[in-house]
Structure 1
Amino acid sequence: MRLLLFIPLFFLFMSCSGKYDKYKKTPEYISKASNSKEAYYNAYNETLKLWSSSFEELYIPTTYGIAHVIVSGPKKADPVVLLHGMNASSTMWYPNIESLSEDHRVFAIDFILEPGKSHLNHDIESIEEVNDWYEDVILALELENYHLIGASKGGWLATKLALNNKKNIKSLILLSPAQTFTWIKPSKDLFKNIAMIFSSEEKRIEQNLESMSSNSDLISDTYIKQYKLGLEIAPKNKFMSSMRPFSNEELMSLKMPVLVLIGDEDMLNNESTIEKAIELSHGKGEIIQNAGHFLSIDQSETVNEKMVTFLKGDN
């Protein structure tokens, strides 16, 4: 009799144990990293100390390599997937994670072709394969329906993913999406970045941060150290020429609620981005004052409040 009672309790325990436990072992490419990679991973871990919400790290095998995912928030809460900006890694969300994970289960994915803790084993040949990789990760996470947030280049990738998964994505938030609604227009800051191409790496990074942020002093020194080390090991950015603005027909096919936020000092977007966003059937757009392209840092409290309100459906 006791055995009969034990059997269902055993299976109940097994079903309640962490379904991601098989992904928690740290892979050898991190534990036995080369000197340059080890320095970067150590800096990454230091930035994670800014992560003001409890978290776990997952290493998910995929067709193309290992996907590193940072998970925060209540286990049974509505899932939110985060796609970071170019070369920024998932740690860029440190000013936003506490608000986002309060009532949501948040999954921040390190892009496998850029600095982060994901690891490429097999070459990715096209944007379509990038999309396939994200779908592999989300399938492994067992996310049937989820909210999707993308920043900058991650905004373009999030839009691409949304176009291929319209039934699975509950809502889409794009923060200063790069070349998603309109082409990047020439600007004073853009020309400054081009002019710095022959300067020292330190000066180029400093100019880049100043042009992307309305107040670069707000960016944590810990994160800047990680970002700089990441650039030293970053591979050449692939598929940049494939990142073209989506057609009106493609954008209009997005039927989930869409929120687009840009900064009033955004180097890559302007009013045309917001106008196009509002034209969508369920689209909203807004310009955040005193914010640059890095608006999730420049005006984190405002952006957090608007994202959380939108995720709750109070829009």
Structure 2
Amino acid sequence: MPKIGRFKSDEAREHFMHAYDTMAAQWPVSSTDIDVETSFGTTYVRRSGSGTGVPILLLPGISGNGQVWSPFIEGLCRDRVVYTPDVIGWAGRSTQTAPLHDGADMARWMVELLDGLGEERIHLAGNSMGAWISMNTAVHHSDRLASVTLFEPGGATFARPRASVLLKFLVMGIRPTPERLRKFNKWMMPGYEHTDEEFAMIVAGLKYRMGVPWERTITDDELARVAAPLLVLFGAETITNDPEIQAARVRTHIPSAEIEIQPGIGHDLLWANPEQVIPRFLDFVDTHDQART
């Protein structure tokens, strides 16, 4: 049965928000806070940067929030507006009031978010499970997207995830302790170690009951409906799924997609190789930009 995301107690929420605010205070550029009302609740969004190009909107990986983009935001918002929302149904400043049943609901949430921000079109980019949300938006509402970029798409986006990944998530979900979480993060992102402030926020987020549906593999018919320009970046050493299998499926159903498998890098693609990933992303965005009126 679909759930509504919430903290397990008021104390848990206060503990998380203290850690969240500590991270938020370290945001390296000036920004504006925005609350957008949607059918699924209130979505908190941070607006950074300025410029006349089509804005970028970034979605984090599972249970993440807008703070994860802090290491990259300065370069990303140099020439245009960048929105970094807290995904509704995950721990953050957004407040969920209605359940999200499936990918179509996630896409509907995204469109309502764009309407509330007053943006007709955006460049949408997502990391890990944020890539799955991005793809569902492209399936149902390509007309609202100037482009779509997927950073290391989640294990189920284009193919069934590996059994070992599902087992790790199951074990982590049953007994989520800080020690288990450190080991899990090291397994998922071997090239990156969280700062003390980041880890404190992640641990505090364990007391949040998520309200976002689990990934369902995008079907062939759905892939064929994607009309927005698509860039997919995989890490060759990722443990979430076989990047070659995923890439082949995308090429079959979206021949226009640009796909790269970067050697020597795993699921921590953005954090392990930002000097290549960020410029590649921005070049793609510039290529498919459309001046705002």
State the TM-score, normalizing by the size of structure 2.
Answer: 0.86
- The answer on 1:259 being equivalent to 2:231 is yes
For 2:94, the equivalent position in structure 1 comes to 118
For 2:179, the equivalent position in structure 1 comes to 203
Deviations 1:210-267 (A, max 9, x none): 11112232x32211111111112x2145421xx2221233213322221111222212
Q: Could you list the runs of 5+ residues in structure 1 that have no partner in the other structure? A: 1-28
CA contact (8 A) 2:47 2:84 kept: yes
State the Cα RMSD in Å: 2.4
CA contact (8 A) 2:90 2:212 kept: no
* TM-fit CA distance, 1:86: 0.8
Q: 1:184 aligns with which of 151, 154, 161?
A: 161
Mark the CA change 1:250 to 1:46 in structure 2 (over 3 Å): closer, same or farther: same
CA contact (8 A) 1:182 1:273 kept: yes
Distance of 2:257 and 2:149 partners within structure 1: 10
Distance of 1:167 and 1:113 partners within structure 2: 25
For 2:50, the equivalent position in structure 1 comes to 74
Identity %: 24
For 1:310, the equivalent position in structure 2 comes to 284
Deviations 1:175-219 (A, max 9, x none): 1111111111234x66556566776612220121011112232x3
Given residue 125 of structure 2, which amino acid in structure 1 is its aligned partner?
A: I
- The answer on 1:245 being equivalent to 2:221 is no
Mark the CA change 1:92 to 1:155 in structure 2 (over 3 Å): closer, same or farther: same
Given residue 91 of structure 1, which amino acid in structure 2 is its aligned partner?
A: Q
* TM-fit CA distance, 1:159: 0.6
Mark the CA change 1:65 to 1:238 in structure 2 (over 3 Å): closer, same or farther: closer
- The answer on 1:275 being equivalent to 2:234 is no
CA contact (8 A) 2:103 2:136 kept: no
Q: Give the SS at the match of 1:166.
A: helix
* TM-fit CA distance, 1:52: 2.3
How many residue pairs were aligned?
278
Given residue 85 of structure 1, which amino acid in structure 2 is its aligned partner?
A: G
Higher relative contact order at CA 8 Å, sep ≥6: structure 1 or structure 2? 2
Deviations 1:264-313 (A, max 9, x none): 22121321222333442321111223432132222222211111111111
Q: Could you list the runs of 5+ residues in structure 2 that have no partner in the other structure? A: 1-5, 289-293
> How does 1:107-146 map onto structure 2 within 5 Å?
107-146=83-122
Mark the CA change 1:190 to 1:164 in structure 2 (over 3 Å): closer, same or farther: closer
Larger Rg: 1
